[in-house]
Amino acid sequence: MAEHSAQQAFAPSSSTLLDVKHLSVGFDGSQVVDNLSFNVKAGETLALVGESGSGKSVSALGVMNLLPDNAQVSGERSLAGTDLASLKRSQWKTILGNQVGFVFQEPMTSLNPLHRVGKQIGETLRLHQSLTGKAARQRARELLEQVRLPRPDELLDAWPHQLSGGQRQRVMIAMAIANQPKLLIADEPTTALDVTVQQEILALLRDLRDQHSMGMLFITHDLNLVRAHADRVCVMYQGQQQESGPVSQVFNHPQSDYTAALLAAEPQGRPKPVGRVQPRLEATRLSVAFARPRAGLFRRQPAPFCGRRAH
């Protein structure tokens, strides 16, 4: 690990929200994260970067006590001065709902397919703010507006399967920020999305971070996204921290061989233009429509949500 950059980047200050030192995670005796240290300050984004399987997700989940019972987690971890390692099970509910918001990679598996969007956001509000009925619906509507989803009233009554991937991810973000957390953990929040939607979601996360002075732990394997969206970066390889520091410093002057190799492996330039080829698949005048759901046996009711702008 690059000592110089690590000291500079990881000396905790008064604005440090999350402080993790010497984190190790193992499953049934086999260690997958070894001696990882990082911190996240209010108003900044720290990227945890590394190839698949390097231990990014288990580190975040381990710190937040979200791993299964066969996991062993050790090391110091504190959130806004609270020692997370000594929390009782009953205290975690408050921390996770009120102080930490999670956005996961695949929103379809994180949203309950059996509940409408409004009900799912309402549940978070009921649990953590005791909001119910009209007040909860009004707040849920505001949250959908905050994440820039059009036609929020209709969306509240939509089922998750009726939304596009980008729309579902925005709903997840609305739920993650519902209780105004201090820290937002975004674990590969845009991997399943196309490049344009990816940029929009990341810009939204940055705006929300700034509006609410949140700290953000951004987990990704995409160096371009780190460059564009993070202030500091912590590079992991096979469960070990390779180096850490401000993004420009680590990317311009990598101290570890692994970071240098990772940067060298990035695709350069533009792809060669494709010459004249016969199309393999062609579609003209394609239309897609969904039948309106029936209410009762014969009566039709308006479709609850059909996004015009499918992001």
Q: Rule CB under 5 A: which residues touch Mg ion? A: 57
> Whole-angstrom Cα distance, residue 108 to residue 119?
16
Q: Does 31 bind ligand ATP (CB under 6 A)?
A: no
Stretch that binds ligand ATP, among 53-61, 122-130, 241-249, 266-274 (CB under 6 A): 53-61
Question: Concatenated DSSP letters for 120-151?
Answer: HHHHHHHHHH---HHHHHHHHHHHHHHTT-S-
Report which DSSP code applies to 182: S
Judged by beta carbon, residue 48 or residue 143, the one nearer Mg ion is: 48
Q: Does 54 bind ligand ATP (CB under 6 A)?
A: yes
Least distance in Å: CB of 174 to Mg ion?
22
Least distance in Å: CB of 30 to ligand ATP?
7
Least distance in Å: CB of 53 to ligand ATP?
4
Stretch that binds ligand ATP, among 54-62, 72-80, 111-119, 240-248 (CB under 6 A): 54-62
Binding string, residues 217-236; x marks residues near ligand ATP by CB under 6 A: ----x---------------
> Whole-angstrom Cα distance, residue 311 to residue 298?
33
The amino acid at residue 276 is R
Which residues does 258 contact at the CB level (< 8 Å), separation at least 6?
235, 237, 242
> Whole-angstrom Cα distance, residue 223 to residue 309?
29
Closest C-alpha to 212, from 101, 125, 123? 101
Per partner kind, with CB cut-offs from 5 to 8 A, the member of Mg ion, ligand ATP, none near residue 55 is: ligand ATP
Closest C-alpha to 78, from 63, 68, 67? 63
Among 57, 110, 120, 259, binds ligand ATP (CB under 6 A): 57
Per partner kind, with CB cut-offs from 5 to 8 A, the member of Mg ion, ligand ATP, none near residue 198 is: none
> Whole-angstrom Cα distance, residue 33 to residue 27?
10
Overall residue count recorded for the chain in this entry: 311
**Residue at shortest CB range from Mg ion:** 57
Looking up tokens 């049934």 gives: 28
Least distance in Å: CB of 232 to ligand ATP?
18
Q: Does 26 bind ligand ATP (CB under 6 A)?
A: no
Name the residues that contact ligand ATP, by CB under 6 A.
Answer: 27, 32, 50, 52-58, 68, 221
